[in-house]
């Protein structure tokens, strides 16, 4: 059964949202010097930890419903997946023991059902980018949801 570990508060600098870390006071001082006032927003991360053989989508749905969330964004998937099906420009591809460099997606609960998708980028020699259609977790895979 998918477990909710915790909520972590993080700060996001909305002017530098793409893969840059918030650098605290030094970045604020730099932005003031450059004439850019930054907007800082507090977000929460819901970390879901999956057991071996659990379905990724079902765990996201369960985590959202258990926490009364109407929408959430996948910001990261940590760990290897036992198997995954990805729809890419090369077609529908099946993988075993796959890890992602990047995983992003948006989900909403509507009419009692989960709606949304995850876009992934694989970490193999020839990286594949595409939409994750289905996936099964290995032990202790983490899904981080921004709520």
Residue 93 domain flag: yes
73-125: pLDDT as tens digits: 999 999 999 999 999 999 999 999 999 999 999 999 999 899 999 999 998 88
Residue 86 domain flag: yes
Sign of CA dihedral 79, 47, 145, 114: positive
Residue 19 domain flag: no
The domain tally of the chain equals 1
Contact assessment for residue 47 and residue 8, using Cβ atoms and an 8 Å cutoff: yes
Residue 74 domain flag: yes
Under the banding of pLDDT at 50, 70 and 90, the label for residue 136 is: very high
Q: Which residues lie across from 94 on neighbouring strands?
A: 85
Name the residue range of residue 131's domain: 3-8+44-146
pTM reported for the whole predicted model:
0.75
- What CATH number did the domain enclosing 100 receive? 3.30.1330.80
Residue 105 domain flag: yes
Per DSSP, the three-state class of 69 is: coil
Residue 49 domain flag: yes
**Section 6-12 average pLDDT:** 50
List all residues 6 or more positions away from 80 whose beta carbon is below 8 Å from its beta carbon. 97, 98, 99, 138, 141
Residue 39 domain flag: no
Sign of CA dihedral 82, 60, 67, 145: positive
Contact assessment for residue 107 and residue 115, using Cβ atoms and an 8 Å cutoff: yes
Residue 14 domain flag: no
39-87: pLDDT as tens digits: 555 678 899 999 999 999 999 999 999 899 999 999 999 999 999 999 9
Encoded tokens for 51 = 């057991």
Which has the closest alpha carbon to 85: 13, 133, 41? 133
């Amino acid at each position: 059964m998918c477990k909710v570990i915790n909520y972590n508060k993080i700060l996001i600098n909305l002017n530098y949202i793409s893969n840059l870390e918030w650098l605290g006071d030094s970045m604020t001082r730099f932005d003031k010097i450059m004439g850019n006032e930054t907007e800082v927003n507090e977000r929460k991360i819901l970390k879901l930890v999956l057991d071996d053989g659990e379905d990724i989508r079902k765990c996201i749905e369960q985590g959202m419903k258990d926490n009364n969330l109407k929408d959430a964004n996948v910001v990261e998937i940590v760990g290897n997946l036992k198997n995954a099906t990805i729809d890419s420009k090369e077609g529908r591809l099946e993988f075993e023991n796959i890890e992602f460099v990047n995983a992003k997606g948006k989900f909403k609960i509507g009419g009692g059902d989960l709606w949304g998708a995850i876009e992934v980028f694989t970490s193999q020699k020839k990286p594949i980018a595409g939409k994750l259609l289905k996936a099964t977790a290995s032990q202790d895979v983490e899904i981080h949801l921004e709520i």
